[in-house]
Amino acid sequence: MSRRNALWFWVFVGPFALGLALFTYVPLVWSVALSFFDAHNTVTPTHFVGLDNYTAMLKDDAFVDSLKTFLVFTAFIVPATYVFSLSLALMVNRLKRARAFFRSVFFLPAACSYVVAALIWKMSLFNGVRFGLANTVLGWFGGDPVAWLSTTDPPWYWLVIVTVRLWLQAGFYMILFLAGLQRIDPVLYEAAAVDGARPGWTVLRHITLPQLRATSVAVVLLLVINAFQAFDEFYNLLSDARGYPPYARPPLVYLYYTALGQGQNLGLGSAGAVILALVIAVVTVGQARWLKLGRTDADG
């Protein structure tokens, strides 16, 4: 019986696992191998350098800076997206009419590619001259045009990055939360009302949030992975023909320029990628542990 099950297991899982092995694991192992070699402009290097690429990467201020920047960015964008999409879900969920309409409007941006979104933000919404929409609005109030993406003091580019990210992603997470909210047993709310709990904050804190914990764990994990792997919108907003400015530079963008551009230092790039993957793994696992711990506390 168990042998037959094993056979069936592989009939179902085998094709997928095989493809994943070939198209993900082979390149992955290959990359990790490259990270121990001096691999300038080659994927079949011969000069073994041990951990040199790793030490070089960890000593590289630009790379370490980008890791730090993205720890901070993650610490900000994760709660921000979380709160924003949860608020959207709560508001939409309470609607009696036009619910599908609002849900569609907030979800629609998820259909946009990062390339298109970056185009709108960079060329039209937040361009630095007088015919950008943001600057037009500023102009109505007598303000001077702001070069949103080029100004480092104050760092307005974060406003551009955060708004485009929220616009693109909030709707998707809102859907996840909406689904979670649908599953909460209405009896819980009725009981709370009987106990005299005022709708609003108390109910949110003592019923809604605990009931949404499973959804929250998933959302936070996806958000964390997403934040560290940020690439597309940053690249499309801030890079130009000559490269990428030394601020708001995600680790992946930095590695991209190191390993995939004219600078084809594949060993160094791979070492950086491994370091990044480790950081992501540590943060994600830590997060999962912490959130799950929270659950046992609440349940106990």
Partner 1 sequence: MTSISRRTLLAAGAGAGLLTACGSNTGRGGGGDGGGSGPKLSQWYHQYGETGTEQAVQRYAAAYKKAHVSVQWRPGNYDQQTAAALLTGSGPDVFEVNGPTLDQIQGGQVVDLTELLDGVRDDFNPAVLTPKTYDGKIWGIPQVIDMQLLYYRKSLLKDAGVEPPTTLDALVDAARKLTSSKVKGLFLGNDGGAGVLGGTPLYGAGLSLVTEDGKVGFDDPAAARTLGKLHRLYADKSLLLGAPTDWSDPSALLQGLTAMQWSGLWALPQVQKELGDDFGVLPFPKDGSAGRPSVPVGAYGAAVSARSRHPEAAKEYVKWLWVERTDHQEDFALSYGFHIPARISLAEKAAKLKSGPAADAVRLSTEHGYAQPLLWTPAGQSAYQDALSRIIKSGASADRELRAVVRKVSAELDRVKKKS
Partner 2 sequence: MDDALVRAGRALRLVLLIALALLFLIPFYLLVRNGLSSEQDITSPEWTFLPGELRWENVRELFDDPSVPFARTLLNSALIAVATTLGTLLLASLAGYGLARIPYRHANKVFYGILGTLLVPAAVTFVPSFVLVSSLGWISTLRGLIVPTLFSAFACFVFRQYFLGFPRELEDAAQVDGLGHWRTYWLVVVPNARPVFAAVGTIVFLGAWNSFLWPLVIGQDQSAWTVQVALSSFTTSQVIRLHELFVAAAVSILPLLLVFLCFQRWIVAGVERSGID
Which residues ranging from 27 to 46 are in contact with partner 1 (CB under 8 A)? 40-43
Choose the contact partner of 257 out of partner 1, partner 2, none; CB within 5 to 8 A by kind: partner 1
Longest dimension (CA), the chain: 79
Q: Does 234 bind partner 2 (CB under 8 A)?
A: no
The least distance separating partner 2 from the CB of residue 180, rounded to whole angstroms, comes to: 6
Q: Does 19 bind partner 1 (CB under 8 A)?
A: no
Residue 114 and residue 236 in contact, taking contact as beta carbons nearer than 8 Å: yes
Residue 49 and residue 140 in contact, taking contact as beta carbons nearer than 8 Å: no
Can you tell me the distance from the alpha carbon of 240 to that of 77, in angstroms, rounded to the nearest whole number? 25
Instruction: With contacts defined by CB under 8 A, name the span among 51-59, 70-78, 171-179, 202-210 that binds partner 2.
Output: 171-179
Partnered with residue 240 across adjacent β-strands are 243
Choose the contact partner of 150 out of partner 2, partner 1, none; CB within 5 to 8 A by kind: partner 1
The least distance separating partner 1 from the CB of residue 44, rounded to whole angstroms, comes to: 9
Nearest alpha-carbon partner for 122 in 148, 89, 97? 148
Residues 107-126 that bind partner 1 (CB under 8 A): 123, 126
Choose the contact partner of 79 out of partner 2, partner 1, none; CB within 5 to 8 A by kind: none
Q: Does 237 bind partner 2 (CB under 8 A)?
A: no
Instruction: With contacts defined by CB under 8 A, name the span among 67-75, 188-196, 211-219, 292-300 that binds partner 2.
Output: 211-219
Q: What 8-state DSSP symbol labels residue 108?
A: G
Residues 38-57 that bind partner 2 (CB under 8 A): 43
Can you tell me the distance from the alpha carbon of 226 to that of 284, in angstroms, rounded to the nearest whole number? 11
Q: Tokens representing 64?
A: 């370490």
Residue 188 and residue 207 in contact, taking contact as beta carbons nearer than 8 Å: yes
C-alpha torsion sign, points 52, 56, 58, 59: positive
Nearest alpha-carbon partner for 126 in 153, 154, 164? 164
Nearest alpha-carbon partner for 216 in 177, 183, 186, 182? 177
Task: Kindly tell me which of 19 and 243 has the beta carbon lying closer to partner 1.
Answer: 243
Q: Does 240 bind partner 1 (CB under 8 A)?
A: yes
Residues 265-284 that bind partner 1 (CB under 8 A): 265
Can you tell me the distance from the alpha carbon of 224 to that of 283, in angstroms, rounded to the nearest whole number? 8
Among 53, 258, 270, 287, binds partner 1 (CB under 8 A): 258
The least distance separating partner 2 from the CB of residue 75, rounded to whole angstroms, comes to: 19
Instruction: With contacts defined by CB under 8 A, name the span among 24-32, 57-65, 149-157, 289-297 that binds partner 2.
Output: 24-32
The least distance separating partner 2 from the CB of residue 30, rounded to whole angstroms, comes to: 4
Number of helices (H), then strands (E), belonging to the chain: the values are 15, 0
Residue 181 and residue 154 in contact, taking contact as beta carbons nearer than 8 Å: no
Residues 180-209 that bind partner 2 (CB under 8 A): 180, 182-183, 199
For partner 1, the binding residues (CB under 8 A) are 40-43, 61-62, 123, 126-130, 132, 144-153, 240-247, 257-258, 260-265
